[in-house]
Amino acid sequence: MYEYVLVPFDGTPELRAALTPAADLAWRCGAKVVVVSTTEASDESSRHLLKSEAIAQSGADIDFWVDLEQPIGDALVAAALHRPNSVICAASRHRMGGLRRRGPVVPIPSQVFTKTAVPIVAIGPETDVSRGLPLTEVIVVHDGSPGSTPALDLAIAWGTRMKVTVNLVGLVGSHASDDERNWLIERLEAKLAEIGEVAPSAALEVVESDDAIDTLTAMLIEHRDAVLALDRRDNARPGDPLGPLAAGLLARAPRALVFPGPPA
């Protein structure tokens, strides 16, 4: 499915959180973990120490992509261009302050979302990585429209190739009329039947929601072995790397988010 899982790592706790999920994903895909680093790890001893720490954290053997000329975001973009059939796994984490209190969030570089065409597995600051990347289902939200979306296509691909359940979720407002609810359910059932031709274990769930971020965060708390597939820039303002739903969920979600590449 993928040949390489690219993960940024410089030895800091903020970036370390993505290593074990990256190794789990690589194992599922038969891929190679490639650590992208912009640290002074060019000499053999420094590189060996960094590699040893990465292996200890991820439980996997790794390759290195070392780039001392660019910031980490641009280095990831370059690595994705030169490593065919890649997926990026990156962490956005709280920096620890004095007395180990949470400091500001260290974000995933915006270039990763705006300049790469490869899928991105995003580990947010609230994501539980204590079990790596447990994965029995991919949750994806659909609005009932006739067409597909990159997130739905990715969820179907993961479901069929990794043999996990695709959970199609429809959100309906609490003030929606019966006709609106029935229309959404009918559309989603038709989409489920279509998905079921390639992903027989696909499931459907319709949830009442007036706040998608709250609803999906609560759903992910219950679904401990899930990832949530989202499109990157739905309703994004110019210059923003993510749309408001994706950005809000990245800040709060207890599970990993997966973003497909942009539409062709």
At 77-122, the pLDDT tens digits run 999 999 999 999 999 988 766 556 677 888 999 999 999 999 999 9
116 and 165 assigned to the same domain: no
172 and 100 assigned to the same domain: no
93 and 148 assigned to the same domain: no
**pLDDT > 90 in the chain, percent:** 62
116 and 149 assigned to the same domain: no
Does the residue 264 lie in any domain? Answer: no
116 and 87 assigned to the same domain: yes
143 and 119 assigned to the same domain: no
Q: Please, what sign has the CA dihedral across residues 134, 224, 241, 125?
A: negative
209 and 108 assigned to the same domain: no
- pTM here is 0.91
Q: Which residue has the higher pLDDT, 16 or 61?
A: 16
177 and 224 assigned to the same domain: yes
> Residue 103 sits in a domain of what CATH number?
3.40.50.620
Residue where a domain stops, chosen among 70, 97, 123: 123
119 and 141 assigned to the same domain: no
Q: Which of 105-109, 180-184, 233-237 has the least mean pLDDT?
A: 233-237
- List the one residue out of 254, 258, 5, 262 whose CA is nearest residue 131: 254
Q: Is 130 exposed, middle or buried (0-12, 13-18, 19+ CB in 10 A)?
A: exposed
**pLDDT > 70 in the chain, percent:** 88
Q: CB-hemisphere CA count at 13 Å for 34? A: 23
Does the residue 128 lie in any domain? Answer: no
Kindly give the pairing relationship between strand 102-106 and strand 93-96: antiparallel
Q: What is the mean pLDDT of residues 171-193?
A: 94
Does the residue 261 lie in any domain? Answer: no
Residue where a domain stops, chosen among 69, 91, 123: 123
Mind giving me the DSSP string for 58-84?
A: HSS-EEEEE-SSS-HHHHHHHHHHHSS
Does the residue 80 lie in any domain? Answer: yes
Residue where a domain stops, chosen among 73, 88, 123: 123
Number of domains in the chain: 2
Does the residue 9 lie in any domain? Answer: yes
With a cut of 60, say whether residue 201 has pLDDT above it: yes
Does the residue 86 lie in any domain? Answer: yes
Q: Which of 11-20, 174-183, 230-239 has the least mean pLDDT?
A: 230-239
Q: Which domain holds residue 219?
A: 137-253
Assign 121 to helix, strand or coil. Answer: strand
114 and 155 assigned to the same domain: no
Residue 47: its pLDDT value, please? 60
Does the residue 131 lie in any domain? Answer: no
Does the residue 129 lie in any domain? Answer: no
- List the one residue out of 62, 58, 3 whose CA is nearest residue 30: 3
**What is the spatial distance between Cα 185 and Cα 180, in angstroms, rounded to a whole number?**
9
Residue 129: its pLDDT value, please? 92
Q: Is 195 exposed, middle or buried (0-12, 13-18, 19+ CB in 10 A)?
A: buried
8 and 115 assigned to the same domain: yes
196 and 223 assigned to the same domain: yes
